[in-house]
Each structure stands twice: as structure tokens, then as C-alpha cells.
Amino acid sequence: MQGGAALPLPPLRNLSKTPVRPIWEILHLLFHTCLDYASITLYNLYK
């Protein structure tokens, strides 16, 4: 089972080096910024 689980790792590692990765990191950052903003807004509404 461990050998099978290790097989998908090299493609993922190669994928992380492609130019697509910064786009996903920016989207991830934006998502969390929006999430933080929403939680602060909700907190202020129901405080």
C-alpha cells in the first residue's frame, strides 16, 4: 500500500514547479483573505 501511495508524489512535485503554482498560491491567499474578511464582518455583526 505504501508503494502505491508513493507513486503519485513525483508528478505532484513536478507540477508544483510549473508556472501554474504561483496562480494557485495567489488564489489561495485571496480565498483566505476573503474568508478572514467575512469572519470579521460576521463577528462584528453578531458581537
pLDDT for 6 equals: 47
The Cα–Cα gap between 13 and 35 comes to 28
The tens digit of pLDDT for each residue in 10-47 reads: 555 555 555 666 777 888 889 999 899 999 999 999 87
pTM here is 0.44
Q: Is the pLDDT of residue 4 over 80?
A: no
- Under the banding of pLDDT at 50, 70 and 90, the label for residue 1 is very low
**Given CA atoms 24, 28, 29, 30 in this order, what sign does their dihedral have?**
positive
pLDDT for 37 equals: 92
Give Cα separations from 3 to 9, 13, 16, 17, 29 (angstroms): 11, 16, 21, 23, 33
